[in-house]
Structure 1
Amino acid sequence: MTKRNKIIYWIATIWLALGMLSTGIVQLLKLKEEVDMMTNLGYPLYFLTILGVWKILGVVAVLIPKFPILKEWAYAGFFFAMSGAVFSHVANGDGVKDFFGPILLLILTFVSWYFRPEDRKINLNHSSL
């Protein structure tokens, strides 16, 4: 892995982790803005707890060394959560400001995943596969 790629990976991953951790905490705390947004989108409020817990666990999975399969699941979860948020806001007719955050986190998810070091990837070179 080149130094450039390592820098890109860590910048994207740190920003992704901060974004997911902060939104996960806000969702767990059920702050008024989050409750209003979920209500506006038509989702039940318990969805905030589910998203908050999984985002925080996903951040832990992405940041800890090893466990490449767990990391793949975390990246997939981030992708599904953020693409779902974007589509929910678009379907609801919300403005760009409402889906800017999810789009940014979606981009950071892809960049972090794409530039992750070899030891954070699943090794598919096993003869049993």
Structure 2
Amino acid sequence: MKKRDKIIYWIATAWLALGMLATGIVQLIQTKEEIALMAHLGYPVYLLTLLAIWKILGVIAVLIPKFPLLKEWAYAGFFFAMSGAIVSHLVIGDGGKDLFGPSLLLVLTLVSWYFRPASRKTNNPS
């Protein structure tokens, strides 16, 4: 793996982990803003707890060494959660400021996944 690719991977992964962990914690503690957002999007409040737990577990899975299949599942979960958030905002007519966060996290998910080292891939020959 090229040094440049390693740097891209770790920067994207660090920002992804920070973003998912931060939003997961906010969802776990169920701030008034998060509860209002879920109501605005038409989702039940209990979904906050589910999203929070999966985000936090996903961050752990992406950051720890080994377990490449678990990492694939975590990346897939991040992809589904963020693309779902984007679609949810679009469906109810929200604007760019509401799309920025999930769009950024979606891009970071894709960049981190694409640039991950061979040791973090499921088709690793070693």
Q: Give the TM-score taking structure 2 as reference length.
A: 0.98
SS of equivalent to 1:60: helix
Counterpart residue type for residue 5 of structure 1: D
SS of equivalent to 1:122: coil
Distance in 2 between the 1:3 and 1:124 partners?
Answer: 19
Gaps of 5+ in 2: none
Distance in 1 between the 2:47 and 2:7 partners?
Answer: 34
Distance in 2 between the 1:124 and 1:5 partners?
Answer: 17
Deviation at 1:48? 0.1
Aligned residues: 126
Deviation at 1:79? 0.1
User: What residue in structure 1 maps to residue 27 of structure 2?
Assistant: 27
SS of equivalent to 1:123: coil
Regions of 4+ moved over 6 Å:
none
SS of equivalent to 2:94: coil
Aligned CA-pair RMSD: 1.2
Distance in 1 between the 2:99 and 2:29 partners?
Answer: 21
Deviation at 1:102? 0.1
Deviation at 1:124? 6.7
Counterpart residue type for residue 10 of structure 2: W
User: What residue in structure 1 maps to residue 93 of structure 2?
Assistant: 93
The answer to whether the 8 A contact 2:118-2:124 is kept is no
Gaps of 5+ in 1: none
Counterpart residue type for residue 114 of structure 1: Y
SS of equivalent to 2:93: coil
Q: Alignment identity in percent?
A: 73
Going from structure 1 to structure 2, the CA distance change for 1:7 and 1:105 (only over 3 Å counts) comes to: same
Q: Give the TM-score taking structure 1 as reference length.
A: 0.95
SS of equivalent to 1:61: helix
- Aligned ranges 1:1-129 → 2 under 5 Å: 1-123=1-123
Distance in 2 between the 1:33 and 1:101 partners?
Answer: 15
